[in-house]
């Protein structure tokens, strides 16, 4: 039985985590996320992705029971590396990925959300890395991604105290993009994914690649890559369509060409 199902709706692939009661992030679920990415990566009918949790939570953490079945430290390290590779694939994916978070995104659940490009949260959601409460540390790159979003000082506080923050606080600190009442967050997330899906797939891919350069490269390398992409995108049919539509005061229809 699978823990992740997905369906495509108006250029958006919507994945649903369903593993009651807490949508715990088991190895199988991580593998199914990887399979989802493979299924939609080259599908021209999918231009953006959305992942959310069914039930009470987005994902309240890793599967602790699975941990108890592993005794070898090397096996734990490989488990961590597998999760890291999938979440890094998400971060570097050529189509935008939105996380719609309600209830809780804790531990591995938050690490999954941080692998997405954009996070919409419910105002009452709880986000955090509580691993130190169990005598552990994050394993899916949480200790490395969290400081990128909230800064070193706040990341140190969250990690070392294990205290979660609310959805409203997550927006304040830069961990989430926007917060909404819980009954609205999924529809708001879906609307955002659809809005991005209506952009040119070529320019979206370029923008996502450039954002990665902004994270990891020096400024000169990044601006050179921007110039390279600008030249490549400018000669596309989508760019001509976008410019023509602007001049003609109509909405563009992008085909990814």
Check whether the bond before 16 is cis (ω within 30° of 0). Answer: no
* Residue closest to 109 by CA, chosen among 156, 58, 144, 68: 58
Annotated active-site residue in 32, 91, 111, 123: 111
CA distance 9 to 7: 7
CA distance 231 to 220: 17
User: 50 with 13: CB under 8 angstroms?
Assistant: yes
> How is residue 18 written in tokens?
């369903």
Annotated active-site residue in 32, 91, 123, 131: 131
Catalytic residue flag (residue 183): no
How many beta carbons lie within 10 A of that of residue 61, not counting itself? 23
Catalytic residue flag (residue 111): yes
> How is residue 109 written in tokens?
């659940």
CA distance 45 to 23: 28
Rounded to whole angstroms, the maximal C-alpha distance in the chain is 66
Residue 170 has what DSSP assignment?
H
User: 164 with 172: CB under 8 angstroms?
Assistant: no
CA distance 13 to 45: 9
| Cα-Cα end-to-end distance for the chain | 39
Active site residues: 111, 131
């Amino acid at each position: 039985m699978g823990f992740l199902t997905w369906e495509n709706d108006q250029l958006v692939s919507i994945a649903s985590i369903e593993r009651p009661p807490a949508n715990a992030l088991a190895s199988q679920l991580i593998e199914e996320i990887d399979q989802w990415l493979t299924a939609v990566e080259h599908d021209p009918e999918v231009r953006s992705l959305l992942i959310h949790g069914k039930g009470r939570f987005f994902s309240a953490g890793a599967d602790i029971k699975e941990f108890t079945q592993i005794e070898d430290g090397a096996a734990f390290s490989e488990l961590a590396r597998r999760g890291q590779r999938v979440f890094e694939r998400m971060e570097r994916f050529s189509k935008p990925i939105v996380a719609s978070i309600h209830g809780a995104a804790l531990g591995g659940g938050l690490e999954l959300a941080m692998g997405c490009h954009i996070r919409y949260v419910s105002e009452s959601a709880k986000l955090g890395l509580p691993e130190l409460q169990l005598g552990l540390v994050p394993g899916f790159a949480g200790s490395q991604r969290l400081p990128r979003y909230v800064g070193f000082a706040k990341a140190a506080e969250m990690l070392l105290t294990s205290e979660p923050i609310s959805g409203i606080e997550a927006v304040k600190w830069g961990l989430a993009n926007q917060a909404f009442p819980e009954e609205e967050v999924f529809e708001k997330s879906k609307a955002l994914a659809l809005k991005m899906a209506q952009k040119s797939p070529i320019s979206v891919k370029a923008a996502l690649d450039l954002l990665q350069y902004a994270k990891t490269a020096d400024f000169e390398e990044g601006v050179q890559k921007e110039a390279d992409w600008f030249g490549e995108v400018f000669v596309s049919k989508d760019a001509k369509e976008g410019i023509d539509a602007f001049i003609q005061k109509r909405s563009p229809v992008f085909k990814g060409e």
